[in-house]
């Protein structure tokens, strides 16, 4: 039986869209600007520091902390690594670049890190508009464990998203411009929690409405009775939506809203007395500050469930999670994205460590080859098995696992079962990135 794997790209792309609910402005340089081979200038083994780059849209239009979780997790890992001697005695020299959430800024970061700092690899990239992705690919710089907020990780070789990929990655997104996502989240709530009805709330805005339609399709494919509720983007009336949800009597509520919209929806649902099995959110909202964010909606807050592809950061009984939490105890809040950034840094470190023992040493080519051959990589159990399999055709279905947690006041995010055993064979549905 094939190892269960999963595709979380649809959820990650949607998370980026829903943060701003608009297409980010920016520019993409002509393809001819990338037609060169940077292998000759790639860093080679030596005794000095190993340069690594991290791109994060830290000052993006959606706020200062929306995209910094993976960066903070990766920095914590590298700080701990250097305190323990680095990689084969060499310190990791981290160069962080804030692209401002724009395509122009992203291209500038890519040029600075690749041509200026001569980084061996990018790690834990979290870019709202990854306009420089093709430059990274043509330079053959491995991008290890990035967050797939755009279709770049399903498009270009040498880019390795934290969730893996089975797309061809030959310069075009997915297959004939279509990406595919599974229905495992909906299957889980139907089988494990007995849900049968669901409501999907969205804005009357193109990105929000498009993602809501994808969620509705997935729910219907799993046999749910689905209702859709839409709120005006400019003048949202969440009270009316909450009243409608009370009438619907749905087991689950999914949404295509930004974080602010989610908190307001929860407040309105509490005021309206809406009773739910689960208000389902995604990995980006899987944070430790839920009590503060949803302070005015205790009923909805305790109905929050999150799903993802990495081990719950509250699961401190697991040694890899315990190590992450010990290294990040000084952070004001914790999040699932921080844990995934930590896992990305660990992934690079293990690949670079193996390269350090070879004749060529730590080079872009060696790290790229090591990461590209990932077959079930888990970062010590922090990730569901990651693989990069370039399939000529999209599979109709796939064995898929997921991590599930539920918020409980006084306990935080409580894991719901073992993520390595919460697995389903589900259909894969196409969507346009």
Q: pLDDT of 401-410, one tens digit each?
A: 999 999 999 9
pLDDT digits (tens, 9 = 90+) for 16-72: 555 444 333 333 333 333 333 444 345 544 679 999 999 999 998 776 678 999 999
What sections of 311-413 are H helices per DSSP? 319-327, 336-356, 364-372
Please report the beta strands in 88-196, taking only residues with DSSP state E, as ranges in sequence order.
Answer: 92-98, 121-123, 143-146, 159-161, 179-182
- The CA distance from 135 to 107, in Å, is 8
Q: Locate 25 and state its tokens.
A: 């402005």
Pick from 328, 327, 308: which is nearest to 382 by CA?
A: 308
Q: If you average pLDDT over residues 74-86, what whole number do you get?
A: 98
Asked if residue 53 lies in contact with residue 122, where contact means CB atoms within 8 angstroms, the answer is: yes
Q: If you average pLDDT over residues 331-342, what whole number do you get?
A: 97
Asked if residue 70 lies in contact with residue 147, where contact means CB atoms within 8 angstroms, the answer is: yes
What local confidence, expressed as pLDDT, does residue 21 receive? 44
* Window from 40-44, 98-102, 231-235, 395-399 with minimum mean pLDDT: 40-44
pLDDT digits (tens, 9 = 90+) for 109-132: 999 999 999 999 999 999 999 999
Q: If you average pLDDT over residues 309-331, what whole number do you get?
A: 97
Which residues, 6 or more positions from 194, have their beta carbon under 8 angstroms from its beta carbon? 251, 277
Pick from 145, 136, 125: which is nearest to 38 by CA?
A: 136
Q: Which residue has the higher pLDDT, 86 or 259?
A: 86
Q: If you average pLDDT over residues 250-260, what whole number do you get?
A: 92
Q: Are strands 423-431 and 179-182 parallel, antiparallel or unpaired?
A: antiparallel
Pick from 259, 321, 366: which is nearest to 45 by CA?
A: 366
What local confidence, expressed as pLDDT, does residue 341 receive? 98
Q: If you average pLDDT over residues 293-316, what whole number do you get?
A: 97
Average pLDDT, the chain: 90
Asked if residue 349 lies in contact with residue 81, where contact means CB atoms within 8 angstroms, the answer is: yes
- The CA distance from 131 to 101, in Å, is 10
Which residues, 6 or more positions from 48, have their beta carbon under 8 angstroms from its beta carbon? 90
């Amino acid at each position: 039986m094939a190892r269960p794997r999963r595709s979380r790209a649809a959820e990650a792309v949607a998370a980026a869209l829903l943060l701003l609910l608009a297409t980010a402005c920016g520019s993409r340089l002509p393809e001819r600007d990338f037609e060169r081979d940077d292998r000759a200038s790639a860093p080679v083994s030596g005794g000095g520091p190993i340069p690594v780059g991290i791109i994060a849209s830290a000052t993006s239009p959606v706020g200062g902390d929306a995209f910094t979780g993976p960066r903070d997790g990766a920095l914590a890992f590298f700080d701990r690594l250097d305190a323990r001697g680095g990689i084969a005695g060499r310190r990791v020299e981290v160069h962080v670049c804030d692209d401002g959430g724009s395509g122009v800024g992203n291209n500038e970061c890519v040029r600075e890190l690749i041509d200026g700092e001569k980084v061996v690899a990018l790690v834990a990239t979290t870019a709202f508009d990854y306009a420089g992705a093709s430059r990274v690919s043509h330079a053959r710089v491995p991008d290890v464990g990035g967050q797939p907020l755009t279709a770049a990780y399903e498009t270009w070789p040498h880019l390795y998203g934290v969730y893996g990929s089975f797309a061809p990655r030959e310069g075009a997104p997915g297959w004939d411009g279509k990406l595919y996502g599974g229905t495992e989240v909906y299957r889980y709530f139907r089988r494990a929690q007995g849900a049968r009805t669901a409501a999907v709330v969205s804005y009357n805005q193109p990105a929000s409405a498009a993602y809501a339609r994808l969620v509705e399709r997935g729910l219907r494919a799993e046999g749910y009775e689905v209702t859709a509720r839409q709120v005006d983007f400019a003048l949202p009336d969440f009270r009316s939506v909450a009243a409608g949800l009370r009438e619907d009597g749905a087991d689950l509520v999914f949404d295509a809203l930004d974080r602010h919209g989610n908190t307001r929806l929860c407040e309105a649902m509490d005021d309206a007395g809406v009773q739910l099995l689960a208000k389902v959110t995604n990995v980006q909202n899987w944070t430790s500050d839920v009590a503060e964010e949803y302070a005015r909606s205790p009923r909805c807050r305790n109905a929050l469930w999150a799903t993802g592809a990495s081990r719950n950061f509250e699961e401190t009984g697991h040694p890899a999670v315990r190590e992450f939490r010990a290294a990040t105890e000084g952070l004001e809040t914790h999040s699932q994205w921080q844990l995934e950034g930590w896992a990305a840094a660990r992934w690079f470190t293990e690949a670079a460590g193996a390269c350090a023992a070879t004749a060529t040493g730590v080079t872009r080519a060696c790290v790229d080859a090591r990461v590209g051959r990932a077959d079930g990589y888990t970062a010590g159990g922090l990730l569901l098995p990651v693989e990069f399999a370039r399939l000529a055709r999209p599979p109709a279905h796939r064995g898929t696992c997921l991590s599930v947690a539920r918020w409980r006041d006084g306990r935080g995010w409580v894991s719901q079962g073992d993520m390595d055993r919460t697995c389903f064979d589900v259909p894969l549905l196409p969507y346009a990135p």
